């Protein structure tokens, strides 16, 4: 059983790829062709139906697949949902509860926007302007000289509070407003989410504000899990049973916390299929985007099939990266000089 994950579906990929995180984008045209192929080759089911099959209680005539969307971008409602409705395909949208209607972008979009500007203007951190940990994170991020690599490093190694202080420092130096990144990265509001067809679209939780949970303290992990579930249920009047780990990263204690918070499943971004008996709190997903289906001259059915069916992975041509992190990182972990970009998340597939 396969679970696929998209982030953003946009009508003008070539324009947007120059403005926002490239690996999150899929053009509307490519998305339609991806779905048509999936409908022809798989039985597309809800995650609840897939969990029943993984527990051994349901058999399909064809291989099963689930369609998911992370982060709750507005273009899901504008561009993805109409295609899904026309094809009659169910999907699950994972949303960050504290960002909907906040007037602020997601932190990774905010940082990417700021790092692009800072590197273009050759901004450097000045000693003593911020607390030492934030200064070290700033220096390391800017020294990497690439907005995607720097962004991945800071998300991988720092708690959200440090990443947020980096963003605020950059905004002060650059004269930017926090909401600037929203121009190209608008998010679903509660009214948008209430307007989604309940028969076709379900909503899951993706923390309060997209905190990468292995980097947070146990108390913060619990808050992110419990408050996001409670807020979405209160706003939408429907049960929230499913959770997605931000950036696909988890640890043994985070997995236990997800189960304790009352979720029935949790998805990673580990690029492998799922099998009967797998833990519902370590479900694997294939993150796909525009170039997952693109050859030298546009959409390529061969490239698409190899990526969606996992042929390249089975041949060892596409490295598999675990999303599991050790326990105990929490909020006390100092900055590390680990190689940036050693993970292959959706951010880096450009």
pLDDT beyond 90 at 62: no
Quote the strand ranges of 206-312, DSSP E: 242-244, 265-267, 286-287, 294-295, 298-299
Mean pLDDT of the chain: 89
- List, for residues 136-186, the tens digit of each pLDDT value: 889 899 999 999 999 999 999 999 999 999 999 999 999 999 999 999 999
Beta strands (DSSP E) in 45-89 are: 64-71
| Full DSSP string of 166-230 | HHHHHHHHHT--GGGGGGT--B--HHHHHTS-TTTEEEEE-TTT---GGGS-HHHHHHHHHHHHH
What percent of the chain is predicted at pLDDT more than 70? Answer: 90
Which among 233, 250, 223 has a CA at the least distance from the CA of 327? 250
| 339: confidence class by pLDDT, cuts 50, 70, 90 | very low
pLDDT at 280: 97
Q: How confident is the model at residue 310 (pLDDT cuts 50, 70, 90)?
A: confident
| Structural domains of the chain, with CATH | 2-103+186-348 (3.20.20.370), 107-182 (no CATH)
pLDDT digits (tens, 9 = 90+) for 197-210: 989 999 999 999 99
**Single pTM value for the model:** 0.91
Q: How far is CA 121 from CA 116, 173, 191, in A?
A: 9, 11, 39
Give the C-alpha separation, 257 to 255, whole Å: 5
Report the pLDDT value the prediction gives residue 349, as an integer from 0 to 100.
44
The answer, yes or no, to whether residue 189 has pLDDT greater than 60, is yes
**What whole-number distance in Å separates Cα of residue 174 and Cα of residue 248?**
31
**What is the per-residue pLDDT for 344?**
43
């Amino acid at each position: 059983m396969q679970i696929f994950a998209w982030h953003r579906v946009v009508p003008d990929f070539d324009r947007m790829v120059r403005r926002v995180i490239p690996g999150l984008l899929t053009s509307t045209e490519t998305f339609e062709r991806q779905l048509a192929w999936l409908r022809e080759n798989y039985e597309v089911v809800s995650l609840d139906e897939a969990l029943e099959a993984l527990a051994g209680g349901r058999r399909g005539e064809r291989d099963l697949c689930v369609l998911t969307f992370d982060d709750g971008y507005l273009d899901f409602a504008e561009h993805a949902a109409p295609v899904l409705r026309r094809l009659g395909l169910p999907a699950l949208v994972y949303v960050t509860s504290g960002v909907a209607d906040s007037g602020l972008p997601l932190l990774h979009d905010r940082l990417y926007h700021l790092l692009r500007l800072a590197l273009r203007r050759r901004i450097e951190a000045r000693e003593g302007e911020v607390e030492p940990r934030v200064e070290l994170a700033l220096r390391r991020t800017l020294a990497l000289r690439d907005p995607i690599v720097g962004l991945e490093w800071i998300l991988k190694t720092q708690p959200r509070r440090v990443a947020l202080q980096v963003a605020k420092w950059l905004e002060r130096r650059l004269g930017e407003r926090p909401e600037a990144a929203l121009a190209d990265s608008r998010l679903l509001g509660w009214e948008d989410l209430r307007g989604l067809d309940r028969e076709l679209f379900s909503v899951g939780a993706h923390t309060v504000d997209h905190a990468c949970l292995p980097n947070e303290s146990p108390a913060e992990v619990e808050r992110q899990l419990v408050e996001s579930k409670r807020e979405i249920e209160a706003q939408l009047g429907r049960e929230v049973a499913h959770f997605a780990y931000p950036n696909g990263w988890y640890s043994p204690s985070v997995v236990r916390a997800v189960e304790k918070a009352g979720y029935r499943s949790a998805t990673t971004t580990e690029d492998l299929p799922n099998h009967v008996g797998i833990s519902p709190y370590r479900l694997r997903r294939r993150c796909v985007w525009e170039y997952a289906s693109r050859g030298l001259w546009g959409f390529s059915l061969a490239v698409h099939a190899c990526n969606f069916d996992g042929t390249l992975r089975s041949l060892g041509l596409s490295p598999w990266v675990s999303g599991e992190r050790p326990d105990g990182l929490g909020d006390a972990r100092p900055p590390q000089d680990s190689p940036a970009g050693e993970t292959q998340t959706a951010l880096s597939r450009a």
